[in-house]
Amino acid sequence: MTTALRFIVALLVSSLALTPAGSDAQPAGGSLVVQAAAEPPGLDLTASPASAIATTIHYNVQEGLVKVDKTGKLAPWLAERWYTTDNLNYTFFLKRGVRFHNGREFTAADVKFVLDRAMNPETKHPHPGHYKDIASIHVRDTHTVTISLKQPNASFLLNLARQGSVMYPREAVDTMKSHPVGTGPFVFSEWIRGDRIVLTKNKDYHVMGLPSLDRVTYRFIPDPNSALAALKAGDIDVAAFGLGPEHVPDLRKDPRFQVIVGDTTNDVILSMNNSRKPFDDVRVRLAITHAVNKEEVVKGAMFGLGKILGSNVDPLNPYFVDMSKAVPYDPAKAKKLLAEAGYPNGFDAVLKVAPQYYYTVRTGEVLVNQLAKVGIRVKMEQIEWGQWLSQVYRDANFDMSIIGHAEAWDAHNYANPKYYFRYDSPRFQKAFRESEVTVNDKKRRELYAELQKIMVEEAPVVWLFAHPRLLVAKKGVQGIWRDVPIPALDLSEVSWQK
């Protein structure tokens, strides 16, 4: 194994399964009803970065050559193995006997088609930067493909495990938004808009004995109280996303349920439009950071659950440096910085939030009060998720916003000046580019420490907290991951205990 391969396979930290390996319980088939807080805007992982798509489709319907497994490490998947001798040319040997849900065999030609399409600007892939270093893709035979890079890329294998790198047949491209086709353990069955998505067992799945479940239904229940009522009424089996933290103490006492509180890569931020006054001034951005009492935010919005952040590198990342106290709560310093920036009396701003993610409104309410104490008068505007995607994410038509960024290893967003908060820092971009071509672990760790230092000093956003994994399931459900090292809800090994 090459140095680069050893490095990348060790990139992600371990996470624990809800039910330990080696349990005596055996799968019992049946169906599972899962609550989801947000309905996906579509079902095409290559068209949108929305985590609501990934939690339904990624690993369940569609898979990649590489997978982030339940231990949090990179593992061979549709590619059973690979090798490289120079960190530039990677040859992948595909697992044999894999078929798409339409019955056709998965081949090396499909790998080339998918990656060529991802690199084509006309397809408007949500993360084209993941493939920018690919120089060529050579199909050697039906089950062998070589991907050559322009330069070493320390994130190459990780990028192949991300949601945008799932494999699909070319004949399904035009229908993926409403009917995804893949190689996963479940087959897409139906989508009743506003109500549910149904997946059924893939009887020809390439992993022997999986999946255990015959049917999975995702029900869209955005309101935490409604989700709690559905859980207690027996209408859902798992509340995976969207239960309020205030429900945890009560549910822990209820013998009908099991409660898991784990870690995620979902970094909740107060974003600022760095291209719009007054947020184009670093003094204003630092003032806002000093004006935020993060402990009070976590207490008020999350009932104390969630780890305070100081940068966009979260605790599940092995290069994490605790920067949570680097810009401490200091209203007096916030006022001083505002005055230096030419805003001695503060200013007015609009905070756009999407209420289907409950924590955005709760966090916003706390922040509005905190910012008012230093003279920043904020009006909170609640908009639908579709409007948030178009107004904030796509068009950058906003002052401030709150959202959780669930993707793992997403520091690359800060190196993209066109990303929605429009942070354009040559200093950060240079350090990030260097980190991406550095395959030596010690050197890359040093560069990631530098990236976190720059984030703190330039304050493009206010990093608030890592949203905890709050999952409640009926007793008897087993095999659900405890932590979430990648935004997916892998149900392939979930079963009912006999």
The stretch 327-349 carries a mean pLDDT of: 98
Q: For residue 13, is pLDDT > 60? A: no
Percent of the chain with pLDDT over 70: 94
**Would you state the pLDDT for residue 12?**
36
Q: Hey, what CATH topology would domain 267-466 get? A: Dipeptide-binding Protein; domain 3 (3.10.105)
Give the Cα-Cα-Cα angle 33, 405, 465 (nearest 5 degrees): 100
Mind listing the pLDDT tens digit for each residue in 450-468? 999 999 999 999 999 999 9
CATH of 3-23+48-174, one of 3.30.470.20, 3.40.50.720, 3.90.76.10, 3.90.1300.10: 3.90.76.10
Q: For residue 372, is pLDDT > 60? A: yes
Which is it for strands 89-94 and 144-149: parallel, antiparallel or unpaired?
Answer: antiparallel
Mind listing the pLDDT tens digit for each residue in 375-411? 999 999 999 999 999 999 999 999 999 999 988 889 9
Q: For residue 2, is pLDDT > 60? A: no
**Would you state the pLDDT for residue 4?**
41
Which tokens is 239 given? 């509340």
**Would you state the pLDDT for residue 16?**
32
Q: For residue 6, is pLDDT > 50? A: no
**Would you state the pLDDT for residue 421?**
97
Spatial separation of the C-alpha atoms in residues 157 and 198, rounded to whole Å: 31
Percent of the chain with pLDDT over 90: 85
**Would you state the pLDDT for residue 15?**
34
Mind listing the pLDDT tens digit for each residue in 101-152? 999 999 999 999 999 999 999 999 999 989 999 999 999 999 999 999 999 9
Mind listing the pLDDT tens digit for each residue in 178-218? 999 999 999 999 999 999 999 999 999 999 999 999 999 99
**Would you state the pLDDT for residue 28?**
52
Q: Where in the chain is the domain with CATH 3.10.105.10?
A: 267-466
Spatial separation of the C-alpha atoms in residues 272 and 270, rounded to whole Å: 7
How would residue 224 be classed by pLDDT, with cut points 50, 70 and 90?
Answer: confident
Mind listing the pLDDT tens digit for each residue in 249-302? 999 999 999 999 999 999 999 999 999 999 999 999 999 999 999 999 999 999
Q: Where in the chain is the domain with CATH 3.90.76.10?
A: 3-23+48-174
The stretch 38-48 carries a mean pLDDT of: 94
How would residue 17 be classed by pLDDT, with cut points 50, 70 and 90?
Answer: very low
Mind listing the pLDDT tens digit for each residue in 66-104? 999 877 789 999 999 999 999 999 999 999 999 999 999
How would residue 24 be classed by pLDDT, with cut points 50, 70 and 90?
Answer: very low
